[in-house]
Chain A
């Protein structure tokens, strides 16, 4: 905390004390005041204030996570009424499941491809729209607009535009004598999914980077310019090093989305052709809700959770190192 704020903090009376004794008196009083003072004391009041949020987090996040973890050790099938514990069998099956491994590889490819493109394009757009150009607000809003659309809507829209023979993209390409089937080969279908995600999330990446850019002192650029540094040197030696924390946060958020991704593959390719473009998220969804294997699907969900955890810890450590 900056020294100026530390001073401010020290001089401010505790909120609880102010609430408990409007007159400013902190003397002990007998009777109902004791209970009220206890409830509103610095020791107790924070728990009351934070309690509802903590309860909500437990109810909506911690409890379901623990429940899914417990479920992953069972053979729960929606179409059966009896559920038995199976120990680690779901995880053992998962390790040898060719489709799950393929889904993991697709997830990694999707993550790397979309992350790289979103960050590079987001950075470029943020740099451009951080300059005092005309209609800057309009351009910023336009770039962010796809992020405001539901991923399913984006997926359906792109699917329709890319369908060979009847989609608008191929209609226009036909004018150039080209007709492409974007979903027919697994590589093309996966690349199409990446492009759809990049189209949707680049604006989000740009907003994050833009926030980081606006936190950089303009005097640093001024000093660099006086020293004769051009755009690229300033980018390399000032902008990028100071953007590292922002880029890492963007990486964490986008990575979690990529690992958990269901909507885009479900809508754009349905995992096809031949289940070649299934991601872990889609695989988990199919196992749980299409084949009704909730136990096995939960094991996939826990693996996804673990991947997210490992990635997040890795990024946070990188963030700490970059700050040091």
Chain B
């Protein structure tokens, strides 16, 4: 029976199979199949819960915990996000959240590639320097389309400089971080230094007292000063030298968005760092080869006695060294200058595609409001030493409960400036870092090197 049926079927369809298919028929078939498959993959959301897809940084290690509803493996300093999302999910049963992750340095590229393919995540977390290219390419939504009375409570400089493009707010800022001078308190005390240096001359003097060869190898293994200047930690060296340049009144970008490196302030900073390395011999060589976040181990192993550190790393450093052994102070300055700081502004954006779907847009906006809420900022303060992006939060007692936390919050508000928007920012960063490496490591002439690298960057702009 089975054989008969098969024979009949083959017989019935025989002429069709035997006749050659035209190209049009093949294409029609392929298109029909494609449409059928795509409709299975992405069903239109017409009712029921709204599903939002979030793109998060992989190193936060929070997505898996959220999926499994288990914070056990979520690092302590990321618990603020875990708890915020859980609170949101409890309050919004009609919104389902899905997560995808990407390495921090390709997360934006992942979002761009997905946007270009027409299927971006609905909400993405990004550093402020990525906001302008994302907005200029039309990949993210203007948050001004949502009614919100609380923008006035946010740090206006952060909103204006880090979260807006062309006058439109595109990112909901969360916590801020700042950079400053970290130091090992017992080592400073041992060297007879009672307080962290305030000027670069002081820093050199203290750095000399701290630099030691404790193993007797003929090469110091405890260094008086460290700062990320390595190609392996791009673009951090730009972020970490930026406050030094700004403190001198300089800028790293002009009004047209062109990055600058051939300026008097850049020359002064480059010379200072080269002198620290060659003449004063206090700059840790690992500054030129390290990776981002190596500071945790370098401080932990007493390889760095003093150095520039981003305050997001304070929890793991303190965990290693103990709260009593680690101090944080403003950047040293040249005489007469005020300290500045680089502020990392992390924000969340809504894809322009999600913004066009009324239900998704409303759900995504609810999520962003939760992420920017006072409760979230207080959790970020508790778990990550995050400085608040809202003025009202700064007055919360939590900042008085811990002197370092209070100090950081106020220091960040007073000194921090976000990473500016720079054209071809990746190439600019690599080119400037290459210049710093050539000047510091190989002692190439400061003026000539910076001029040549500036020209190379500008050639790329053309």
The chain A residues found within 8 Å of chain B, CB to CB, are 31-32, 35-36, 78-81, 159, 163-166, 173-174, 177-179, 181, 183-184, 189, 269-275, 286, 289-292
Bound complex: CA of A136 vs CA of B89, how far in Å? 58
Whether B301 pairs with A166 at a CB distance below 8 angstroms is yes
Whether B217 pairs with A179 at a CB distance below 8 angstroms is yes
Whether A270 pairs with B234 at a CB distance below 8 angstroms is yes
Looking at B10-18, B20-28, B180-188, the stretch in contact with chain A turns out to be B10-18
Q: Quick one: CB contact mask for B230-263 with A, threshold 8 Å, 1 for yes? A: 1111100000000000000000000000000000
Whether A275 pairs with B286 at a CB distance below 8 angstroms is no
B264 within 8 A of A: no
Whether A275 pairs with B434 at a CB distance below 8 angstroms is yes
Whether B285 pairs with A164 at a CB distance below 8 angstroms is yes
Bound complex: CA of A286 vs CA of B106, how far in Å? 11
Whether A36 pairs with B10 at a CB distance below 8 angstroms is yes
User: Which B-chain residue is minimally distant from A180 (CB atoms)?
Assistant: B219
Whether B11 pairs with A164 at a CB distance below 8 angstroms is no
B316 within 8 A of A: no
User: Which A-chain residue is minimally distant from B7 (CB atoms)?
Assistant: A32
- Chain B positions within 8 Å of A181 at CB level: 285-286, 289
Bound complex: CA of A169 vs CA of B133, how far in Å? 43
Whether B231 pairs with A174 at a CB distance below 8 angstroms is no
Whether A79 pairs with B136 at a CB distance below 8 angstroms is yes
Whether A272 pairs with B288 at a CB distance below 8 angstroms is yes
Decide yes or no: A183 and B430 within 8 Å by CB, A36-B10, A81-B138, A272-B437 being known contacts.
no
CB proximity of B29 to chain A, nearest CB, Å: 15
CB proximity of B366 to chain A, nearest CB, Å: 29
- Chain A positions within 8 Å of B289 at CB level: 181, 183-184, 189, 269, 272-273
| A36, A80, A273: residue with the most chain B Cβ atoms closer than 10 Å | A273
User: Which A-chain residue is minimally distant from B130 (CB atoms)?
Assistant: A79
The chain B residues found within 8 Å of chain A, CB to CB, are 7, 10-11, 14, 17-18, 105-106, 109, 112-113, 116, 133, 136-138, 215-219, 221-222, 230-234, 285-286, 288-289, 291, 294, 297-298, 301, 303, 424, 426-427, 430, 434, 437-438, 441-442
Q: Which of A32, A159, A163, A271 contacts B231 (CB 8 A)?
A: A271
CB proximity of A96 to chain B, nearest CB, Å: 10
Bound complex: CA of A32 vs CA of B231, how far in Å? 69
Query: Mind listing 24 A-B residue pairs with CB under 8 Å?
Result: A32-B11, A32-B14, A78-B109, A78-B112, A79-B133, A79-B137, A80-B137, A165-B286, A165-B301, A166-B301, A174-B215, A177-B216, A178-B217, A179-B217, A189-B289, A269-B231, A271-B231, A271-B232, A272-B288, A274-B434, A274-B438, A275-B434, A286-B426, A290-B105
Decide yes or no: A291 and B424 within 8 Å by CB, A166-B301, A270-B234 being known contacts.
yes
Decide yes or no: A275 and B430 within 8 Å by CB, A78-B116, A270-B233 being known contacts.
yes
Whether B137 pairs with A290 at a CB distance below 8 angstroms is no
- Chain A positions within 8 Å of B116 at CB level: 78
- Chain A positions within 8 Å of B18 at CB level: 35
From DSSP, what is the main secondary structure of chain B's interface residues?
helix
- Chain A positions within 8 Å of B215 at CB level: 174, 179
Whether A275 pairs with B231 at a CB distance below 8 angstroms is yes
User: Which B-chain residue is minimally distant from A277 (CB atoms)?
Assistant: B231
- Chain B positions within 8 Å of A31 at CB level: 7, 11
- Chain A positions within 8 Å of B219 at CB level: 164, 179
Whether B221 pairs with A174 at a CB distance below 8 angstroms is yes
Decide yes or no: A290 and B442 within 8 Å by CB, A79-B137, A177-B217, A184-B288 being known contacts.
no
Top 9 closest pairs, chain A to chain B, by CB? A270-B232, A272-B231, A274-B437, A183-B289, A179-B217, A165-B303, A32-B10, A166-B301, A179-B219
CB proximity of A156 to chain B, nearest CB, Å: 9
Bound complex: CA of A229 vs CA of B369, how far in Å? 84
Decide yes or no: A166 and B303 within 8 Å by CB, A78-B112, A273-B437, A286-B430 being known contacts.
yes
Whether A274 pairs with B217 at a CB distance below 8 angstroms is no
Bound complex: CA of A165 vs CA of B219, how far in Å? 10
Whether B10 pairs with A270 at a CB distance below 8 angstroms is no
- Chain B positions within 8 Å of A274 at CB level: 231, 434, 437-438, 441-442
Bound complex: CA of A67 vs CA of B191, how far in Å? 62
User: Which B-chain residue is minimally distant from A270 (CB atoms)?
Assistant: B232
Bound complex: CA of A274 vs CA of B427, how far in Å? 13
User: Which A-chain residue is minimally distant from B112 (CB atoms)?
Assistant: A78
Decide yes or no: A290 and B430 within 8 Å by CB, A32-B14, A79-B136 being known contacts.
yes
Whether A35 pairs with B14 at a CB distance below 8 angstroms is yes
Bound complex: CA of A318 vs CA of B108, how far in Å? 46
User: Which A-chain residue is minimally distant from B139 (CB atoms)?
Assistant: A81
Whether B430 pairs with A289 at a CB distance below 8 angstroms is no
CB proximity of A17 to chain B, nearest CB, Å: 20
Bound complex: CA of A286 vs CA of B442, how far in Å? 23
Bound complex: CA of A220 vs CA of B105, how far in Å? 58
Bound complex: CA of A227 vs CA of B52, how far in Å? 79
Bound complex: CA of A18 vs CA of B47, how far in Å? 57
- Chain B positions within 8 Å of A173 at CB level: 217
User: Which A-chain residue is minimally distant from B105 (CB atoms)?
Assistant: A290
CB proximity of B428 to chain A, nearest CB, Å: 9
- Chain A positions within 8 Å of B218 at CB level: 177, 179
| B116, B230, B232, B424: residue with the most chain A Cβ atoms closer than 10 Å | B232
- Chain B positions within 8 Å of A273 at CB level: 230-231, 288-289, 437, 441
CB proximity of A99 to chain B, nearest CB, Å: 9
User: Which B-chain residue is minimally distant from A184 (CB atoms)?
Assistant: B285
User: Which A-chain residue is minimally distant from B136 (CB atoms)?
Assistant: A79
- Chain A positions within 8 Å of B233 at CB level: 270
CB proximity of A100 to chain B, nearest CB, Å: 13
Q: Which of B11, B14, B298, B424 contacts A166 (CB 8 A)?
A: B298
CB proximity of A256 to chain B, nearest CB, Å: 25
Whether B426 pairs with A292 at a CB distance below 8 angstroms is yes
Bound complex: CA of A179 vs CA of B437, how far in Å? 21
Bound complex: CA of A290 vs CA of B217, how far in Å? 39
CB proximity of A197 to chain B, nearest CB, Å: 18
CB proximity of A88 to chain B, nearest CB, Å: 18
Bound complex: CA of A35 vs CA of B17, how far in Å? 9
Bound complex: CA of A205 vs CA of B306, how far in Å? 46
CB proximity of A179 to chain B, nearest CB, Å: 4
Decide yes or no: A164 and B427 within 8 Å by CB, A36-B10, A292-B109 being known contacts.
no
| B215, B297, B438: residue with the most chain A Cβ atoms closer than 10 Å | B215
